[in-house]
Amino acid sequence: MKGVLLVNLGSPDSPTPKDVKPYLDEFLMDERVIDVSKWLRNIIVRGIILQTRPKKSAEAYSKIWWEEGSPLVVISERFAEKVKQFVDMPVALGMRYGSMTIKNALQELKDKGVDDVLLVPLYPQYAMSSFETVVVKAIEDKDAFFPEMKLTTLPAFYKNQEYIKVLSESIADGLKDFDYDHILFSYHGIPERHIKKSDPTKFHCKIDGNCCSTNSVAHHSCYRHQCFDVTEKVKAYLGLPEDKVSLSFQSRLPNDPWLKPYTDFEFERFPKEGKKKLAVITPAFVSDCLETLEEIAMEGKHQFQEAGGEDYKHIPCLNDRDDWVQVMVNWLKDWQENELLPA
């Protein structure tokens, strides 16, 4: 029987340093997130980052935590529950990190008689630190514990027309009551090195040039290209003026060069250029989470206003919007009935 495994990133069990520390340990010790040799990763993560970050992160999580739990987890659960109402096969939800494991979700599917699984990483764009690590972990767990299962992966859906339509419509909804002079598409950052590592040609992605707008097979795994593409497609769909839209990358760690421009630098720059009414959207995430609710909706607003900005709005992610649920349902039915995957 066919079944579906939805996977998002995951969250700590509570917004306390005690629970944030093991969560960050699992996350940052992932070789696709901090991609250095194991001994160096140990020093960087356990010897440096985890000495101070859990307390700081726990404080940030406390600001956005809901009574029901982590927004990312609660929203993903609501989304999964809605999807289940419209599909005629088992659907399970797992997280790449934390206690809602992929293994448990696969077990849940197996207990319901599923032996043919569609894996859906809940990321619109491909990055080795997001999409790829979900796929690798799901395959590892399947091979180790459920070798009889068949696993198919739904590709990153950044350029899918239905996805672009619902994303655009969610943005149009957010802009209805907001008089903006600029719209910033802020994507989660990644180290530049990750882009080069994921380039199968090993020469296409130069990052500083116009590689991301020159056709190449490298774009199947080029996160930067895929972020540009989403921005361009939404811009075209909504007919947004060229000079009122730009893109940036948020949430970097110190030391390495990460994808630029940096979102926090943009918040400081815009008011000085007369862009004082800013709408921000965050299309690297399908669900609101720490990075959108705290870093963008709270910190970002503060940074923008401190720099002289006047009006500011973070437009929510797709979350459990009914039109987004229906897009997912259509993809799942296409696979269930015709073995088709979204293009």
Ligand X SMILES: C=CC1=C(C)c2cc3[nH]c(cc4nc(cc5[nH]c(cc1n2)c(C)c5CCC(=O)O)C(CCC(=O)O)=C4C)c(C)c3C=C
Residues placed in the known binding site for Fe(2+): 188, 291
Does position 284 interact with Fe ion (CB under 5 A)? The reply is no
Q: Radius of gyration over alpha carbons of the chain, in Å?
A: 20
Whether 141 contacts 102, CB under 8 Å: yes
Does position 11 interact with ligand X (CB under 6 A)? The reply is yes
Q: Of 91, 9, 73, 77, which is closest to residue 331 (Cα–Cα)?
A: 91
Closer to Fe ion at the Cβ: 49 or 83?
49
Site residues for ligand X, 192-221, by CB under 6 A, read none
Site residues for ligand X, 267-306, by CB under 6 A, read 284-285, 289-291
Closest approach of Fe ion to the CB of residue 310, in Å: 30
Does position 211 interact with Fe ion (CB under 5 A)? The reply is yes
Q: Give the type of residue at 289.
A: C
Classify residue 3 by burial, with Cβ atoms within 10 Å: 0-12, 13-18, 19+: buried
Closest approach of Fe ion to the CB of residue 4, in Å: 24
Whether 305 contacts 316, CB under 8 Å: no
Choose one: 16-24, 69-77, 198-206, 310-318; the region binding Fe ion (CB under 5 A). 198-206
Closest approach of ligand X to the CB of residue 331, in Å: 19
Does position 212 interact with Fe ion (CB under 5 A)? The reply is yes
Does position 34 interact with ligand X (CB under 6 A)? The reply is yes
Closer to Fe ion at the Cβ: 110 or 314?
314
Closest approach of Fe ion to the CB of residue 122, in Å: 13
Closer to ligand X at the Cβ: 182 or 225?
225
Q: Of 24, 29, 188, which is closest to residue 98 (Cα–Cα)?
A: 24
Closer to ligand X at the Cβ: 74 or 240?
74
The annotated binding site is made up of 188, 291
Q: Out of 76, 129, 170, 282, name the contact with ligand X by CB under 6 A.
A: 129
Measured between alpha carbons, how far is 134 from 241 in angstroms, rounded to an integer?
36
Measured between alpha carbons, how far is 229 from 190 in angstroms, rounded to an integer?
17
Is the peptide bond preceding residue 271 cis, with omega within 30 degrees of 0?
Answer: no
Closer to Fe ion at the Cβ: 168 or 221?
221
- Build a one-symbol-per-residue string for 48-87: x at contacts with ligand X by CB under 6 A, - elsewhere: -----x---x------------x-x---------------
DSSP codes, 109-144? HHHTT--EEEEEES-SS--IIIIIHHHHHHHHHHHH
DSSP codes, 260-323? SSBHHHHHHHHHHTT--EEEEE-TT-SS--HHHHTIIIIIIHHHHHHTT--EEEEPP--TT-HH
Q: How far is CA 304 from CA 104, 250, 336, in A?
A: 42, 14, 46
Does position 20 interact with Fe ion (CB under 5 A)? The reply is no
Q: Out of 222, 230, 247, 328, name the contact with Fe ion by CB under 5 A.
A: 222
Whether 180 contacts 285, CB under 8 Å: no
Measured between alpha carbons, how far is 286 from 298 in angstroms, rounded to an integer?
19
Whether 261 contacts 248, CB under 8 Å: yes
Q: Out of 164, 205, 280, 315, name the contact with Fe ion by CB under 5 A.
A: 205
Q: Out of 127, 245, 281, 332, name the contact with ligand X by CB under 6 A.
A: 127
**Which residues of this chain interact with Fe ion, rule CB under 5 A?**
205, 211-212, 222, 225
**Which residues of this chain interact with ligand X, rule CB under 6 A?**
9, 11, 24, 33-34, 53, 57, 70, 72, 123, 127, 129-130, 188, 190, 223, 251, 253, 284-285, 289-291
